[in-house]
Structure 1
Amino acid sequence: MNKLLLSLLSGIILALAWPTYGFPLLLFFAFVPLLLAEHQLRLSDVKRKGLKVFGLSYLTFLIWNAITTSWLRFADPFGAGFAVFVNSALMALIFLLYHKFAKRQSANRSLLFLVVLWISFEKLHLIWEFSWPWLNLGNGFSEYISWIQWYEYTGTFGGTLWVWILNVLIFKGVLSYQKEKSKQVLKSLLLKCAGLIIVPLLISFGIYSTYSHEGETVNVIALQPNIDPYSEKYNMTNLKFAELFFELSNSKITDSTDFIIAPETFLAESTRLRQFNNSLLKNKFDRYVLEHPNVNLLTGISFYNMFNDKNKIRKETNVYKYTPNTWYDDYNSALLINSLDSVQQYNKSKLVVGVENFPYQDILKPLIGDFMIDLGGTVSMKTTQDYRGVFTSSNSKFKAAPIICYESVYGEFVTGYVRNEANFLAIITNDAWWNETQGHKQHLSYAKLRAVETRRDIVRSANTGISAIINAKGEITSSLPYGEKGALSGQIITNNKITFYVMAGDYIARISVFILIFVGLIGFFRRKKEQL
């Protein structure tokens, strides 16, 4: 088959497999056409093979990235273009490295190199400053959570490994059939593929049908104010938002309500951190708690802290342009207010590239100045914290993980809250930047993966998006649709048990990095002995 068509086919299959509209079974052979195209090029006599491999791979990944994440354009066209084109190039680079390696090494060693290289790339996308793990392959099963209940042992890297094992097996089977033209080869391939798909599914179905946990019942309310973030949200005062908070809460509150949860930056008007405790805004929330002494109020807020002491400057500190020798830290925070005296605060620590985080400032700032990629929100460096803070209820029974927006995409990151004794997850987000697209749907869908990995129930409050209650099996038990203003009430169950994944984290990725280094060194010092 024409190599260009093979490249196009892989891109289309990857796109058709992706949540929330796709069917993830397609992932098990999505890379096969591209692998065949690379194999044909490697064995051909054409010149500039590496450039052609990169070009074909880039086309595949450009199709996949563009179709699945084009919703970014509603926040900012440049930001969308940057994310799509650069991420496609990084993925194509992986196939180029595989091509170079395969020219020197055996088929099995080369394919092992490709698998561990891809997994290592996904891990990089979780930890570096240009982090963008949206298309990590393990996320592709988020709408079919009954298939991947074993994520409580492996995390999403188990799904990535599953995908690649099947792709490698099918690729090798196709090459063997092309060489031998034997029906026996096809039969053997089908049996192996069936086993590698069916056995994990059966294990997952078994866990899914039997899983349960015991814990305390938490009565929760998730608010969905449905405020337009491009205009209305940043033109209202926090006192007005407080009134909206009480209005929505009063529509559902009862004497048994334990938590009321409002979305990310619900209190959008920047508030000076040290003045908050004595503010009229805080006083309004305190009075509401006096009327409902058992209630814990969890909300997002924008804080800032100005100072003149150079010793307090951090990498994330901003310069205040209007006053000499003045700096400020800007926080995207979550607050818990209850009948206890102290206010609990957590600062968002996984930041959106370009809006909340200026990556590699020492290198890029001299080149592009203060320009930042606007993916929605306020354009300012946000200040983070090193630990995953957990909010404790006034009765000390409930410990909520205050996960802010983008943080919910990071599996191992979320386990940090659970290791700090969170017994349920509270996701607060603002998904209105992307309009009625796959953006907010995928974001909700990925939250279900965190429920399975940690076996924690989730209450999710979205400004505009989909507010939902998700159980520990990853099932959405109730929700508010996109664009609807209101409050969602329901019950979740706490869980104090720790899953293997919470304890071990992304161990599959770490093992892959080790194997990548080992196999890579072999690739440099040993010549190949066989050719597939």
Structure 2
Amino acid sequence: MSTFSGMSLAAAYSLVAVLCAYLSLYPAMVGYLLNRFFPTGNASRLLLAFPALWLMSDWMFGQALTGFPWMWIGYSQTDTWLAGYAPLFGVQSVTLAVVCTSAALVLAITQRKIRWLFIPVMLFIGGYGLQRQEWTTPGEEVDFALIQGNIPQSLKWEPSEIRPTLLKYLTLTQKNMDADIVAWPESAVPAMENDMREFMTNMDETLRSKNTGFITGIQYYDQQNNQSYNAVVGIGLIDKEGQQSYQYGRNNRWYKQHLVPIGEFVPFETYLRPLAPIFNLPMSSFSRGNAKQANILVKGYKFATAICYETEFSDEMRQNIHDDTQFIMNVSNDSWFGESTGPWQHLNIARMRAIEFGKPLLRPTNSGVTAAFDEKGRLLASLPQFEMAALRVKVKTTTGTTPYTKWGSIPLVIYVVSSLLLAYRLQVVSIAGISVR
């Protein structure tokens, strides 16, 4: 906040403290509700009520104030057998498995009964089996070139840097014209599409002549409706026959629909913008795209698209992932995080989406972490952070859907309601039994 918004260190630390206090309300709420409504009965309290309340808390955290479900507990298990539950009911089913495992271990220790260990053992065995289930069908290999421009965030939106920025991306692109598809990251073209029509048209014609598809992040201003969008556009060889071409502002694009508060839109902006520089960041007046949008078509392949932290919202993403969706394209710019763990956490979140949906995920970023995962979430290739480079990687298409893609969180909602009702019923019976004695 102090680096990019001009906010003083004291104010930045104060805001972080307020954020920490806010985030602590959710686990505190779980503890309060657990002790208020489920005070007795260790087994039902820990194995039924506690996991259900934890999931409820996560869902509230993921929706309140536009939502920020960053690093739910389930994300910690991308490298374990428990990740096998993700294609079934999403990352929160992995969270559920972790919480139930923890509850069973507490019971085993406090009651000194080894039988409770049966629960985590069976959960891990179940996850192992599910990991080996082929939910989607791999197909042909596609050769990608993911371009990492490594443009300093402090220079990215300077008008004088537009040409140097594009030259960097073009230099790497020209060396990789033999790829099937070249992909640039979020806002790689640091200007409005309205001002870059000639550039985009030339790119389209050049890439079509090379039989190469192209995906890039750019901004678009809809003059008719006075709305700006953070966009991704597919041009070059769009269909395999080469019959389609770039059309300004019309087709084959994705408009970001889950915007970053303050960074991409400012709530109550009339009142907040005059208060501090943090409320006047570049490109902080975007409009939302539609919740459902067509997949981007490039060289005949269909891409479900997510810009930056849209990958956190799997229930929103699944609305745009279909049987014939072959890839997930997650363009991003994590330069804001600097050398912190933020880019790596973001990468892990994106990886979980590949596991959940059974679709390979391509991730071109400005400064890292640029990477590619297969439909099982296995890392195929990546680039070091803070380097100007191109990642060449061959990735197989997939078709089909996972149970989570079809049903979303509905099974978990049913589980939560049923568990709370059963746990409460057992509480009533337990308390009645104590009263009789």
Query: Structures share a fold, TM > 0.5?
Result: yes
Q: Relative to structure 1, is the Cα distance of residues 376 and 206 closer, same or farther in structure 2, using a 3 angstrom cutoff?
A: farther
Q: Which runs of 5+ in 2 are unaligned?
A: 6-11, 238-243
Out of 188, 192, 197, the position equivalent to 2:118 is 192
How far off its partner does 1:169 sit? 1.7
Amino acid at match of 2:215: L
Q: Does 1:247 align with 2:171?
A: yes
Amino acid at match of 2:259: L
Partner of residue 231, structure 2: 333
Q: Relative to structure 1, is the Cα distance of residues 473 and 244 closer, same or farther in structure 2, using a 3 angstrom cutoff?
A: same
Amino acid at match of 1:266: A
Aligned-partner Cα distance in 2 for 1:73–1:526: 56
Partner of residue 92, structure 1: 28
Q: Does 1:378 align with 2:283?
A: yes
Out of 157, 178, 183, the position equivalent to 1:261 is 183
How far off its partner does 1:332 sit? 0.8
Partner of residue 155, structure 1: 90
Amino acid at match of 1:301: I
Amino acid at match of 1:286: D
Deviations 1:145-193 (A, max 9, x none): 555234221211121111121222223333324xxxxxxx2x334x425
Aligned-partner Cα distance in 2 for 1:174–1:374: 50
CA contact (8 A) 2:162 2:191 kept: yes
Q: Relative to structure 1, is the Cα distance of residues 526 and 235 closer, same or farther in structure 2, using a 3 angstrom cutoff?
A: farther
Partner of residue 74, structure 2: 138
How far off its partner does 1:121 sit? 2.2
CA contact (8 A) 2:82 2:97 kept: no
Amino acid at match of 1:214: P
CA contact (8 A) 1:237 1:269 kept: no
CA contact (8 A) 1:221 1:487 kept: yes
Q: Does 1:173 align with 2:97?
A: no
Deviations 1:457-483 (A, max 9, x none): 122101011111211121111111101
Aligned-partner Cα distance in 1 for 2:265–2:401: 32
CA contact (8 A) 1:306 1:329 kept: yes
Aligned-partner Cα distance in 2 for 1:523–1:370: 55
Aligned-partner Cα distance in 1 for 2:396–2:279: 38
CA contact (8 A) 1:106 1:529 kept: no
CA contact (8 A) 1:408 1:446 kept: yes
Aligned-partner Cα distance in 1 for 2:307–2:256: 6
Partner of residue 460, structure 1: 363
Aligned alpha-carbon RMSD (Å): 3.3
Aligned-partner Cα distance in 1 for 2:427–2:206: 67
How far off its partner does 1:431 sit? 0.8
Partner of residue 301, structure 1: 218
Aligned-partner Cα distance in 1 for 2:80–2:281: 30
Q: Relative to structure 1, is the Cα distance of residues 494 and 205 closer, same or farther in structure 2, using a 3 angstrom cutoff?
A: closer
How far off its partner does 1:369 sit? 6.8
Deviations 1:202-248 (A, max 9, x none): 325644xx888431221111000000112244444545443333211
Describe the SS at the equivalent of 1:268. coil
How far off its partner does 1:264 sit? 0.5
Partner of residue 207, structure 2: 289
Aligned-partner Cα distance in 2 for 1:131–1:370: 25
Out of 385, 388, 391, the position equivalent to 1:488 is 391
Describe the SS at the equivalent of 1:446. helix
How far off its partner does 1:195 sit? 2.0
Out of 407, 417, 422, the position equivalent to 2:310 is 407
How far off its partner does 1:441 sit? 0.7
CA contact (8 A) 1:74 1:434 kept: no
Partner of residue 152, structure 2: 228
Q: Relative to structure 1, is the Cα distance of residues 380 and 90 closer, same or farther in structure 2, using a 3 angstrom cutoff?
A: farther
Aligned-partner Cα distance in 2 for 1:494–1:376: 38
Q: Does 1:345 align with 2:248?
A: no
How many aligned residue pairs are there?
415
Amino acid at match of 2:372: I
Partner of residue 241, structure 2: none
Q: Relative to structure 1, is the Cα distance of residues 367 and 392 closer, same or farther in structure 2, using a 3 angstrom cutoff?
A: closer
Partner of residue 9, structure 2: none
Amino acid at match of 1:265: S
Q: Which runs of 5+ in 1 are unaligned?
A: 1-71, 178-184, 313-327
